[in-house]
Structure 1
Amino acid sequence: MPDTTPSRDDVLAAARSLGRDLAPDRAELLAAYLDQLMKWNRKMNLVGPSDWRTVFDRLVVDSLFLADFVTGLRLPERPLCLDFGAGAGLPGIPLRVLWQDGDYWLVEVREKRATFMKSVLGRLDLPATNVFLGRAEDALDRLSRSGHQATADLILSRAFMPWQKLLDFIHPMLRRDTERTGVAVILSNDPPPAENDIPAGWRLGDAASYPAAGTERYFWSFLVE
C-alpha cells in the first residue's frame, strides 16, 4: 500500500527536492492537509493519485510557486480573493498555508468536496479562509449581502473553464476603480497568449513559469479594464 501519512520532515524534504524551502510550521500544516486528503481520497476519489508524494509533486507544487507569484501582484492590503472550482482545495488550501493576505473563499458547487474542505480547514485553522458552497456566479452576491465588498480583488482558476470564457464570465466580478483594478490569475500548462488573442476589456499582467512533474507550467495574470 502506498505511504499515505506524510510527516513534517517528509514534506520539508519533498519541498527541497523541488527547490523550495518551507518553514517547519508551514510544512506541518501541509502534512496535515495531505494526510486528510489521502484519507478522504480512499472514500471519495478527490484526486487521482493514491499516495501523498505524487499529489505533492503533481498538485501541491503549484501552490509553492503560486504563493510567490501572488505576493508580487499589486493587491490592496486586505484583498477579497475567490478561488473558482476549488475541488479538493488545490491550489487554494496549500496556497493559504503559505500566503495568508486578505479574505479567501474556496468556491465549490459539489457538496462532498465542499464538506471535505470545511473539515480540513477546521483542523488547520487558517486565517480568513472559508468555503462557499454554491455556484460561482452566486458567490459575490451572497458574500456582499453578508457584509463583504461587492467585487473581488483577485480571482484564481485552474481548469474551471477555458480561460477566454472565464475572463468573459468574471469580468463584471472584479474591482474597477481609479486606484486599483482586479486581477485574474490563470494556472496553465501553456505559455501566456499573444496580445491579439486577449479578449477586449483585459490586459495581460505578470506571467511566470515554473517546473512541475517534469514539465513547465505557467501562471498568467490579467488586469481588468
Structure 2
Amino acid sequence: MEYCSVLCFTWCILVLSATGRTADKIVIDIANNITAGEEYSGSCTLKDEDKDLYVESTEGSGCNVTHGNIPQNAQKIDFNLTCDNKNDSYTATIECHSSKVYCEEKINVIPKPKITTKPTNVTTMVGLPVTLSCHVKGDPNHYWVGWMYRDSIIQEGEQYATSTARSTRGTHHYLTIHTVKQSGNYVCKVYTIHGPVDETSNSVTIENDATEPTPTSLMDVVYKLLFS
C-alpha cells in the first residue's frame, strides 16, 4: 500500500485551515474539535486517478460514521460523524483510503456540556436583589450560556448582571437581578454550535405576591365596587 509522503507525518496530514487538512492524494475535511453526542458533517476527497474510496472510524474509537450509497469509482464521500459521550475528552480517528492510498485524521472529542445543579426556588421581598446560579460541567470554550426570562434572552444592564466562576468540576454561571419586581421563572440554557443541549428553570417568588383575578362580567365589576 502506498502511503502519504514523510512530510505528512504518520497520519498523512498537511494543515491547511482550522477544518481542512490535505495529504498527498486524499483530503479529509472534518472539524478539529467536536462535541460528543452531536452529528457533524465531513468529507473525503481523492486527488488522483485511484478508485474505490472508503471512509470509516477506527475500531474502538467510540465514533460512528454513516454515509449514503457510494457509487462505483467515487472520488468524494460525504459522511456524518457522531461520537459517544464520555467523562473526559478523548481522541478519535477517521480513516479514508482506497485500494492504494491511506490517510487518517485524529479529532478531539469533547464531552457534551451538562447542567449539574438542581433548579433553585427563591422567595424574596419586592425590591431586593437575587442571585441565581447554574453550574455547568464541560469545556466553556465549546459552549455558552444564555439566561432567559419569558422566552427572551436577558441582556445585561440596569436590571441584570451575569458573571462566571471556574472550579475544578466545571463553571458556575450567575445571574443577578438587581431589583426583583415580580415573580417569575429564569431559565439557564446551555448552547453549542448545534443549538441548545441542556437547561434548568429557577423560580423567583415575591412573598405575599397574590394576583387578583380579573373581572369577567359587568356583575363582577358591580360587586367589586359595592363590596370591596
- TM beyond 0.5: no
Tell me the TM-score normalised to structure 1 length.
Answer: 0.22
Tell me the TM-score normalised to structure 2 length.
Answer: 0.21
Instruction: Find the structure with the greater CA-based Rg.
Output: 2
Identify the structure with the greater strand proportion: 2
Identify the structure with the greater helix proportion: 1
